[in-house]
Structure formats: structure tokens, C-alpha cells
Copies of this chain bind each other. A is one copy, B any other.
Amino acid sequence: MNLDGSGNQYRYKKVEQELSRHIEAGDLLAGDKLPSLRQMSRSLQVSISTVSHAYEELEKRGLIESRPRSGYYVRSELRRIPTPEIKTVQKPEPHTVTKNKLILTALETVGNRDILPLGVVCPSNELLPTRQLSKIMSSVIRDNPLETAGYETIPGNLDLRRQIAFRSVDCGSDITADDLLITTGAMEALYISLRTLTRPGDLVLIQSPSYYCFLQLVENLGLRAIEVPSCPENGINPDRVAEITRTFDIKACIFAPNFNNPDGSLTSEDRKREIVKNLAERKIPLVEDDVYGDIYFGDSRPGTLKSYDREGGVLLCSSFSKTIAPGYRVGWLAPGRYLEKALEIKATTNVSCVSPTQMAIARYLRESLHDRHLKKLRAAMKEQMDKMRTEIGLSFPEGTKVTNPKGGSVLWVELPEGKDGVDLFFKAREEGIGIVPGIVFSPQDVFSNYIRLSSGAPWSEKIQSGIRRLGELAAM
């Protein structure tokens, strides 16, 4: 182990993380005895009190337990929790979507500050640069009272589009400001894309599972959906996509290759390239949701499908809702060769986006505050997710599986066979805990024993006891 602690006060955290990683990796098994404080202090070259602090934290999290006069042990209840398998849909078939009522019930918790936000996929405000952004917003408003109050153009604020275009280099794209359309969050980008590409009755190809708001949109636009299985470990399989597009008349695909919500799956770069190539040959447009692309836990940002697009057939949707401020509702669409039609849809939906929020985010990005913030955010999101996974392993009934995503902020939990996610959703809501039942992530009922948990809020005793209570409810 190599721990060059930067800053004394956080040194214990590094020890804690290092140890929990070994426990989770199975290097230390349930019942194993941990090295004594003295041994550990010597081998890590940190003080005894640092190790002691770390052990206390691990005990609080339920990973280890102290046995009187004997030392610390990995908790015997601790078990390695497996990840869910790919859920194969027997035969891909078109489905009309009819989950709207249930989804709307689940959505009622959005913005409701009285409910423990395990259902809301968004880093909580404490992790976002809200104070910096507020300062910037105030000065933007003060410096530009007229411009902030006036209409923006239909494509959106030019400064903002330039900043987004500039940053798209990170994910391998070469879009320019003129390729972009600012939207009211990524949801609007997706909505504009589907209105642009489809008519009622058309068939679209989606991942299974898929973000329920996509399904709701598919339902509301009168479309039919066909599903390609998403593998929690490897994402979308290009061969399956090719098969389905050969058999059915698909008008558009909707894929989230980077940390798909809810299964957190990451599709590899090779697979991305192949998917884009195949679809381009068949002239099938592809709507890409990349809202989690910046929240990767690995060394480098995963590429977008858009970055492999040579024909303008990929419509990239993203936003700053998961990284800067959800309430600012600033998203964007790079609609490729469909720009003209997309602008028409934007104009007839709500003309143009809110001016001051666009200007504030443009200035925030220009001041180069974002990269440092993202780095911190990624570390925090990873830590929170790790802690939540561990707690699920401790609290949920035997037979539970949970994903181990390489980014994003959701965990996809498979409850033991026979358990019902909707049932758990209603029970949890009654106790003020917001989760989302798995069934709403597919037009079919294949995910009835799944739930999705968001790890977007900083780890706290409140969250920990929420997860514990969920585990109890799941076991009932």
C-alpha cells in the first residue's frame, strides 16, 4: 500500500478507502482479523490515531467490528454482493408503452425536499458549485440587466455554445457552436430529437433497462419500442443491434453508452464505433444520452457515440444538470444533419431558453472553474457509491445483487426472486424514502424485482439508516 497523504486531516480517509477496497475486492474475507493499530500504523507510515480513526469509520459503516480484547475483524455478516446478470428478453418484440401513471407517481418525489432522495438521480446541491455559481449569476445579472431580461436566440447563447463545443473535444467530438442547440435540460434535447425523427406509430430501439423518462416520452409521442438488452458489465452489444435493425423497421435508436441509467453500464469504445458504423450504413439515426459522461471513475473520460459519427446521424443530448445545477435547466443538443428540423421543433415548443441561466453557466465555464470541480465531484460520487454498495451488501436480504458501475450515480439492485420492487417503492415512500421501482425502466415487466437507488447525496447517517430500513423492508 502506498499512502502519500496530502493534508493530515484527510489521511484517515485514505486509509479507510484503501481498507474498504480490499474488503470489497475479497482480499479480506468476512471473519478475517485486521492488522493491529500498531502494525497498520507502521506499514502505512501514518500515526496510530489516523489508523484508529479509519477503523472507527469502517466500524460505523458496518464493514468491520471490534471484538473486546481481540482486535478488529471483517464483519461476519459481510458478503460479497454479486452484480446482476444481463436480462435477456426472449424475443425482441415491439411494445406499446403504458407505464405513464406509475412513472408519474415515482416522479412526484422530484423536487420534494421532505423525502430521502434515493430516487432522484442527481448529485445533491452540497456537491455542486452552487455558491460559486450564485456569485457568478449575481454579477451576470448586475452587469447585464437588459440582456438577461431579453429573449435569447433560438439556438441559444453563443458564448455558451462556444464553451460547450470547446469542451466536446474531451469526449472526442469535433462539434462547433453552430452545430449546437441549447435546451431546457437534456430531457428537452431528447424530446426534440424524437419529435424530429419520428411520427406516431414509429418503432424505436431502446436499451433494456432504459431511463423511465425515455419510456414516458416514447409513450406520449405514440411510438412503439423494441428493446436490446443492456449488460451491466459491457453495455450494448453491436451484434444484437445489427440483428434487430435487420429484422425491424427502426426509425431511431436511443442509447446511453456511458453509465446508462439505471444499470450504470459502460459500452466500450470498440463497441461504440461498431454500433455507429452499422447504423450509419442502414441510415438509422441514433439519439445519444451522455448526461453521465463526465462522471467517470476511471482515468479518462469515455468517448461519445457522436465522436465516431461521420455522417451526422448521431444526435447527442447532454446537460449540466448532473454536474453544475439541475435547477438551471441548461442542456444541449448536437443534432447532426437534423439541425434545421430540430430548430423548428424548439421554436414551436418554447421559442428559446431562459437567458440569465445560459449566461451564468457560460461565464462559469469560461472562468475555468469546471475541471477542478469535476475532479472533486467524481471522487465524491465514487466514494458515496462505494459506501452505498457496501451498506446494501450488509442490509439487504440474501440473494440481492447490485451493479458495480464505473461511473454515474445510480445503483441497480436486483432483489431476490419473488420480491416486488413496486411493493418496496410504496412501502419506502410511506416512510419518507424515495426510490424508483425497476419495472418502470422497461415497457415489459422483466424488472419487477429490481429497484434503482441514487447515490447522489453525500454519505450520512440518515442515508445509511435509510438503506438499512430499505433492506429490512425488502426482507419482509
Contacts of A149 in B (CB 8 A): 125, 128, 130, 133-134, 324-328
Interface membership of A329, Cβ < 8 A: yes
Q: Choose, from A5-13, A139-147, A300-308, the stretch at the interface.
A: A139-147
Contacts of A216 in B (CB 8 A): 344, 347-348
Task: For the complex formed, measure the closest distance between the CB of A183 and the CB atoms of chain B, giving whole angstroms.
Answer: 7
- Quick one: copies of this chain in the complex? 2
The A interface is mostly helix, strand or loop, or mixed, namely helix
The verdict on A199 contacting B222 (CB below 8 Å), with A120-B151, A328-B354, A351-B185 known, is yes
- How far is B325's CA from A400's CA once the two chains are assembled, in angstroms? 52
Task: For the complex formed, measure the closest distance between the CB of A79 and the CB atoms of chain B, giving whole angstroms.
Answer: 36
- How far is B326's CA from A149's CA once the two chains are assembled, in angstroms? 6
Residue-wise, chain A 72-104 has the 8 Å CB interface mask toward B (1 for contact) of 000000000000000000000000000010001
Interface membership of A432, Cβ < 8 A: no
Contacts of A43 in B (CB 8 A): none
- How far is B142's CA from A112's CA once the two chains are assembled, in angstroms? 22
Interface membership of A463, Cβ < 8 A: no
Task: For the complex formed, measure the closest distance between the CB of A37 and the CB atoms of chain B, giving whole angstroms.
Answer: 40
The verdict on A130 contacting B146 (CB below 8 Å), with A138-B141, A328-B356 known, is yes
- How far is B214's CA from A471's CA once the two chains are assembled, in angstroms? 52
Q: Which residue of B lies closest to A213 (CB)?
A: B348
On whether the beta carbons of B145 and A187 are closer than 8 Å, the reply is: no
* A137 contact from B131, B352, B356, Cβ within 8 A: B356
Contacts of A104 in B (CB 8 A): 343-344, 347
On whether the beta carbons of A151 and B183 are closer than 8 Å, the reply is: no
Residue-wise, chain A 179-208 has the 8 Å CB interface mask toward B (1 for contact) of 000011101100100010001100000000
> How many residues from A make CB contacts under 8 Å with B?
64
On whether the beta carbons of A125 and B138 are closer than 8 Å, the reply is: no
- How far is B344's CA from A122's CA once the two chains are assembled, in angstroms? 21
Contacts of A222 in B (CB 8 A): 199
Contacts of A112 in B (CB 8 A): 153
Interface membership of A234, Cβ < 8 A: no
Interface membership of A150, Cβ < 8 A: yes
On whether the beta carbons of B351 and A354 are closer than 8 Å, the reply is: no
Q: Which residue of B lies closest to A324 (CB)?
A: B149
12 more CB-based (< 8 A) A-B contacts, given A122-B151, A188-B349, A200-B200:
A107-B154, A131-B145, A134-B141, A134-B142, A138-B141, A148-B327, A184-B354, A187-B349, A213-B351, A216-B347, A220-B344, A220-B345
Report 24 cross-chain contacts, Cβ distance below 8 Å, ordered by A residue.
A104-B344, A107-B347, A110-B352, A111-B150, A111-B151, A126-B146, A130-B148, A130-B149, A134-B148, A138-B142, A148-B327, A149-B325, A149-B326, A149-B328, A151-B326, A184-B184, A184-B349, A191-B350, A195-B220, A216-B348, A328-B355, A328-B356, A329-B354, A356-B356
